[in-house]
């Protein structure tokens, strides 16, 4: 694409009703949304954005910002951070615009629409203040001349019903800056970076961190790993990306071995932001994406950061399996304005958390007693949640049942532990949860969702008839999870009343067979 950035930047400065810029200077509308963002000019806490929209025929268009985005379960209303929204025709005359609500602007006489301009306020100033929103890792912050954390849902919107069009964003950047992201279709020059995404969903799934580069890249099998750090603490230039790599690399290598030597993604990016916080505690926020994860930290020093990233990323990175490769129609057809939750958080979060536990013990990242203790801890902690709320009902009502949400990481993980043992028992040790997930990924994958209401029957058809009853009783239903009976199948005695674990004194060959196939010891 021809470089129109300087032209659009001038238009941003002269976007009032009286300005008359020749239409020939504007790039012609095409199939893609064409955005222009100048990171060299931050007015207070605000960035200026210009959009040349794709070709459209409607006379009334609604331009929208998300109410909510994937990975969070609370309304963020990103339109609240948008100011001075204006639309212009080919002659640079303003078009009528009506703001319908926090997130939607109605543009009239839209057949003549040539460009849109607005200013974006950063969604959080620091991690210590809790006056703006609650998922900072889903938003954006601007440090003029130093660095930027950008989730595209905070910068860019979409026309109602047209979020599947391609997106192109050209950033004008300060000298020496590098934009770290999981996106691969990027054109970089000394002064600009141009990103391309196939849809709004793909764009939102790939946050970007702009700063002077503190990055490192390496490979786990055929997967490229990128670590990028923006350290907002003044006067600190230590190369933290390499420091974090030393901590993460053994874990990622173990993960590659667990999946048979190949991670199911070509590139994965760890994006890390750090700021000072005059307190003995640390503040942290993180959000997973299909091919990256964003980590926000505040504290007195970087000493604890790498360990925290290691513990959090052990779960987040595993989302490359689900929902990247295994997800329902509700995930694939995500409604950014009025999201309805999938009922399968037991899979997206529960199976991911269980896989983290299983991988750690199977690859000897934790010892066997440590693994058993985590089972005990999850069982103990899940007692504080509503036992009469099924996992599917909790999932479907995640927005309104935030008080119960954490149970998907507790009961959800233990349900999948029991499912793994049951599959091992029925298959003579030859088939478990890992193989099930791999088979589901082969059948579906990133571009083919499974039917929201058909997954349990699908898994049953792929495995054993008893599995359907398991889902009916413990995932769709609210029967108490018989963790004691399932662990006993592997020769492990669990005593729920005193929260203790022990081993069967004289394990049978079946005990040994299941336990060895399950955890390798």
- Judgement on whether residues 502 and 395 belong to the same structural domain of the protein: yes
CA gap 429, 419 in Å, rounded: 13
Which residue segment(s) compose the domain that 507 sits in?
A: 329-519
- Judgement on whether residues 106 and 234 belong to the same structural domain of the protein: no
pLDDT digits (tens, 9 = 90+) for 56-91: 999 999 999 999 998 887 789 999 999 999 999 989
Is the C-alpha dihedral spanning 512, 513, 518, 519 positive or negative? positive
Residue corresponding to tokens 């490359």: 320
CA gap 279, 300 in Å, rounded: 7
DSSP bridge partners of 495: 500
Please say which residue of 277, 296, 320 terminates a domain.
Answer: 320
pLDDT digits (tens, 9 = 90+) for 37-46: 999 999 989 9
Average of per-residue pLDDT across 346-351: 96
- Judgement on whether residues 91 and 151 belong to the same structural domain of the protein: yes
pLDDT digits (tens, 9 = 90+) for 318-336: 999 998 899 999 888 889 9
pLDDT at 20: 35
**The three-state (H, E, C) secondary structure of 486-509, written as one string:** HHHCCCEEEECCCCEEEECCCCCH
H or E segment to which residue 444 belongs: none
pTM of the model: 0.90
- Judgement on whether residues 335 and 409 belong to the same structural domain of the protein: yes
Please state, in angstroms and as integers, the Cα–Cα distance from residue 130 to each residue in 96, 170, 374, 400, following that order: 36, 31, 31, 21
- Judgement on whether residues 222 and 311 belong to the same structural domain of the protein: yes
Average of per-residue pLDDT across 216-241: 88
Report the domain count for the chain. Answer: 3
pLDDT at 13: 44
- Judgement on whether residues 106 and 230 belong to the same structural domain of the protein: no
Which range has the worst mean pLDDT, 133-147, 187-201, 213-227? 133-147
CA gap 436, 322 in Å, rounded: 12
CATH number at residue 44: 2.60.40.3650
Over 50: is that where the pLDDT of 16 sits?
A: no
Please say which residue of 190, 210, 230 terminates a domain.
Answer: 210
Please state, in angstroms and as integers, the Cα–Cα distance from residue 404 to each residue in 70, 110, 285, 391, following that order: 19, 45, 19, 10
- Judgement on whether residues 334 and 483 belong to the same structural domain of the protein: yes
Q: Is the peptide bond before 42 cis (omega within 30 degrees of 0)?
A: no
CA gap 232, 272 in Å, rounded: 11
């Amino acid at each position: 694409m021809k470089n129109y950035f300087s032209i659009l930047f001038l238009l941003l400065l002269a976007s009032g009703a009286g300005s008359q810029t020749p239409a020939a200077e504007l790039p012609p509308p095409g199939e893609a949304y064409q955005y222009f963002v100048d990171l060299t000019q931050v007015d207070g806490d605000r960035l200026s954005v210009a959009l040349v929209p794709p070709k459209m025929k409607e006379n009334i268009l609604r331009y929208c910002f998300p109410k909510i985005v994937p990975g969070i379960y609370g309304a963020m209303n990103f339109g609240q951070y948008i100011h001075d929204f204006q639309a212009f025709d080919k002659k640079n005359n303003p078009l009528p615009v009506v703001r319908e609500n926090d997130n939607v602007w109605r543009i009239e006489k839209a057949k003549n629409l040539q460009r849109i301009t607005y200013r974006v306020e950063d969604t959080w100033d620091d991690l210590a203040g809790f006056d703006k929103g609650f998922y900072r890792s889903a938003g954006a912050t601007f440090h003029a001349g130093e660095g930027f954390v950008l989730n595209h849902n905070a910068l860019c919107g979409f026309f109602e019903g047209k979020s599947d069009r391609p997106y192109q964003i050209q950033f004008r950047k300060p000298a020496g800056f590098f934009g770290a992201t999981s996106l691969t279709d990027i054109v970089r020059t000394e002064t600009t970076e141009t990103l391309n995404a196939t849809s709004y969903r793909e764009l939102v799934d790939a946050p970007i961190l702009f700063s002077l580069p503190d990055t490192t890249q390496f490979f786990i099998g055929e997967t490229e790993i990128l670590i990028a750090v923006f350290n907002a603490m003044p006067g600190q230039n230590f190369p933290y990306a390499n420091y974090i790599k030393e901590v993460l690399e053994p874990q990622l290598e173990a993960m590659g071995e667990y999946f048979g030597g190949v991670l199911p993604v070509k590139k994965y990016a760890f994006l890390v932001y750090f700021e000072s916080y005059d307190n003995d505690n640390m503040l942290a926020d993180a959000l997973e994406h299909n091919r990256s994860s964003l980590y926000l930290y505040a504290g007195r020093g970087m000493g604890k950061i790498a360990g925290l990233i290691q513990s959090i990323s052990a779960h987040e990175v595993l989302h490359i399996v689900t929902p990247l490769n295994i997800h329902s129609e509700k995930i694939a057809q995500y409604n950014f304005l009025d999201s309805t939750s999938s009922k399968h958080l037991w899979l997206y979060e529960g199976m991911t958390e269980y896989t983290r536990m299983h991988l750690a013990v199977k690859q000897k990242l934790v010892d066997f007693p440590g693994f058993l203790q985590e089972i005990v801890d999850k069982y103990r902690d899940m007692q504080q949640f509503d036992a009469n709320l099924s996992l599917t009902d909790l999932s479907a009502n995640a927005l309104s049942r935030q008080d119960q949400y954490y149970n998907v990481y507790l009961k959800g993980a233990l349900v999948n532990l029991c499912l793994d043992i049951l599959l091992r028992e029925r298959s003579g040790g030859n088939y478990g949860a890992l193989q099930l997930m791999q088979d589901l990924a082969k059948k579906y994958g990133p571009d083919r969702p499974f039917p929201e209401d058909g997954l349990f029957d699908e898994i049953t058809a792929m495995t054993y008839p008893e599995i359907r009853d398991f889902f009916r009783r413990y995932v769709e239903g609210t029967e108490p999870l018989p963790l004691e009976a399932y662990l006993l199948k592997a020769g492990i005695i669990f005593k729920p009343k005193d929260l203790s674990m022990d081993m069967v004194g004289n394990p049978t060959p079946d005990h040994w067979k299941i336990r060895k196939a399950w955890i390798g010891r």
